[in-house]
Chains A and B, each alone.
Chain A
């Protein structure tokens, strides 16, 4: 997989961390979209939420690889 990060000598998969981060970001994004009444325009809000999560996760993964974090993460 992508690699692991050491947190106080406990190895955590990087994907788990990114996934958690992406989940939190998606939640925040959802709150903003809710305020903007975006979901009124949507047929299947659940599907949109899941798709948003995947996009955010992908963006995060892309960003971390490009910024060179994953290189140092790999053990």
Chain B
């Protein structure tokens, strides 16, 4: 120590080393958050607001690592609170004379909004969620004095506006991190991951487990991009253009996996019979090398462009060596490889456009980014309904306890059931998250009690109060910036500020403190119980259910056509991701994961067939009808012996297409038919006999 002090040069380098390891971003976030809480409390006291702590915990609720996210959540919170307050105003005055009716109305209200919020998987779903439980918080707080409902609602609105304004300001002014930068990092990462996975898969080195992992990660990446780009509108100066690029990028990323899987299927079918022939092998090698270079590039700016060997279409190089099966598969593999390379090139260009909005895009991509609209993600209607019913049931049960048990603090328990059943409704196993929320409450309460009964009585004035609270606020803010602890920190922050219930004058009553907080814990325990009973879905079962729905959707797609081909890839990948995430939770199931990939391939091949079809959609009608039947069989997980008929129909279509060199759509359709044949008909039949 004395050595470092005597040597200033050494000391600075030590300091620099320390600073480099110091989690600057987290500390700055915690600092900005503490400033926001303090400012919110100060202003709430200055304006003589009823419950300054509502303003304080609003700061915790909207706090998020990116400033655009804070602003969007602030707006959503304001909108949700307005709707919820209006609901309370609508329900409480007419029904307050008959508690059972009020309880039923309130429960139905909360359930309805939970259901609605689960139908939207974007961050916007926070609006309906909040609309639901705000009505319960405001409405049930005033059942003893219904004349106060308007004042309470206005107070809540004021305090929430104050809190979110302070949070938005603090996170905008101090150490802001914009959504665009984060999007750039995420897209770059997603592309590197995909490139690595592509290099491995095409070289024939990837195991099925790795392929399943890749599909999960890719689906997650697309989902994250989707959620992040919702915040873009609240973020930065280039928002519209970047949003378009992100949407098209999502679409291309979603197309990657089926294209890769199709190419891999064709290559494997060829490799069974020996090494690849020269032109195809050279293309595979070029693609592997390029993918490897992309995976190693530090960012989209210095990623190499598509090598010329991989440009162009398969129509330019009709198969050599007659019309044998191997030649057909070879041609299909080439088409898939070139499509894959083109998709990847688009991804690279779009990722660069997200990073540097000034970089020029090719005209076709630029046109597409201008017209790209938001594609809704897959909404699980069944689970949404279940969550809504669960919330209503939980509310009704706790209301019954409150009324029948004449429990004075029962209203608070009901409020917490509403919160617990709403906030965690989008989880697959909400009970588990609720349990950690309970841990957060139990952690925060002793600290709050320490403050309330040991520290605060000795304080007078705002400055000492702010100083005394600062350590706790800093710690909570720091915890919130650590992703793993964020949920816990949020709950602890809300409980802490709520339990202190800071008001103009110090008023602490140990009996009230204990009763109120016990009621909160009871509420959370009640929602835990109801979630355990009604909402614990076995991930394996849920994965099977979703996979079945997936196959049924494919069957509909084969029968009626893909009504909008553009929205399909993203939605199909999203659904497949839902299945594979749950499969992984259940411990991985190789056969089921392969089945997920196969469904993605079928969807992509259907889209390719559609693109080559004529106006009356009659060209592949029989193949599509038979394919729909096969998909329905998959949905029921039965197999019948229609394989031969299906194979014969596909072979007929393949023969009718000729060598597929008329145009690009035909080449795509030919490749799609070959891949479907490989997927659904046993391979040896194809390999031995001649198709044409």
Q: A residues engaging B (CB < 8 A)?
A: 33-34, 37-40, 44-47, 49-50
Q: Is B173 engaged at the interface, CB distance under 8 Å to the other chain?
A: yes
The binding surface of chain B is classed by DSSP as helix
* CB–CB A45/B173 < 8 A: no
> How many angstroms between the C-alpha atoms of A45 and B173 in the bound complex?
9
* CB–CB A50/B236 < 8 A: no
Within 8 Å CB of B173, what residues of A?
44, 46-47, 50
Within 8 Å CB of A47, what residues of B?
172-173
* CB–CB A50/B172 < 8 A: yes
Which residues between 209 and 256 of chain B lie within 8 Å of chain A, taking CB atoms? 236-239
The closest CB in chain B to the CB of A46 belongs to B172
CB distance from B278 to the nearest CB of A (A): 51
Within 8 Å CB of B239, what residues of A?
34
> How many angstroms between the C-alpha atoms of A51 and B426 in the bound complex?
39
> How many angstroms between the C-alpha atoms of A38 and B237 in the bound complex?
9
Q: Mark B141-181, 1 if CB is under 8 A from A, else 0.
A: 00000000000000000000000000001001100100000
The closest CB in chain A to the CB of B237 belongs to A39
* CB–CB A46/B176 < 8 A: yes
Q: Is B67 engaged at the interface, CB distance under 8 Å to the other chain?
A: yes
A sample of 23 inter-chain contacts (CB < 8 A) reads A33-B237, A34-B237, A34-B238, A34-B239, A37-B237, A38-B237, A39-B236, A39-B237, A40-B237, A44-B173, A44-B176, A45-B236, A45-B237, A46-B67, A46-B172, A46-B173, A46-B176, A47-B172, A47-B173, A49-B172, A50-B169, A50-B172, A50-B173
The closest CB in chain B to the CB of A30 belongs to B237
Within 8 Å CB of B236, what residues of A?
39, 45
> How many angstroms between the C-alpha atoms of A45 and B176 in the bound complex?
10
CB distance from A66 to the nearest CB of B (A): 27
CB distance from B356 to the nearest CB of A (A): 12
> How many angstroms between the C-alpha atoms of A16 and B687 in the bound complex?
77
CB distance from A54 to the nearest CB of B (A): 11
> How many angstroms between the C-alpha atoms of A49 and B171 in the bound complex?
13
> How many angstroms between the C-alpha atoms of A50 and B176 in the bound complex?
13
> How many angstroms between the C-alpha atoms of A50 and B172 in the bound complex?
9
> How many angstroms between the C-alpha atoms of A39 and B67 in the bound complex?
16
The closest CB in chain A to the CB of B154 belongs to A10
> How many angstroms between the C-alpha atoms of A16 and B236 in the bound complex?
26
Which residues between 339 and 355 of chain B lie within 8 Å of chain A, taking CB atoms? none
Within 8 Å CB of A40, what residues of B?
237
> How many angstroms between the C-alpha atoms of A49 and B235 in the bound complex?
11
CB distance from B438 to the nearest CB of A (A): 37
> How many angstroms between the C-alpha atoms of A34 and B232 in the bound complex?
14
> How many angstroms between the C-alpha atoms of A44 and B169 in the bound complex?
13
> How many angstroms between the C-alpha atoms of A50 and B169 in the bound complex?
8
Kindly list the 4 A-B residue pairs having the minimum CB-CB distance in the complex, ordered from nearest.
A39-B237, A46-B172, A34-B237, A46-B176
Q: A38-B237, A46-B67 are known; give 11 further A-B pairs, CB within 8 A.
A: A34-B237, A34-B238, A34-B239, A37-B237, A39-B236, A39-B237, A40-B237, A45-B236, A46-B173, A47-B172, A50-B172
Within 8 Å CB of A44, what residues of B?
173, 176
The closest CB in chain A to the CB of B174 belongs to A46
Within 8 Å CB of B172, what residues of A?
46-47, 49-50
> How many angstroms between the C-alpha atoms of A40 and B237 in the bound complex?
8
Q: Mark B329-369, 1 if CB is under 8 A from A, else 0.
A: 00000000000000000000000000000000000000000
The closest CB in chain A to the CB of B358 belongs to A40
CB distance from B122 to the nearest CB of A (A): 21
CB distance from A9 to the nearest CB of B (A): 13
The closest CB in chain B to the CB of A39 belongs to B237
CB distance from A5 to the nearest CB of B (A): 16
The closest CB in chain A to the CB of B171 belongs to A46
> How many angstroms between the C-alpha atoms of A45 and B67 in the bound complex?
12
Query: Which of B169, B237, B239 neighbours the largest number of chain A CB atoms within 10 Å of its CB?
Result: B237
Within 8 Å CB of A49, what residues of B?
172
Which residues between 171 and 195 of chain B lie within 8 Å of chain A, taking CB atoms? 172-173, 176
CB distance from B35 to the nearest CB of A (A): 14
Within 8 Å CB of B176, what residues of A?
44, 46
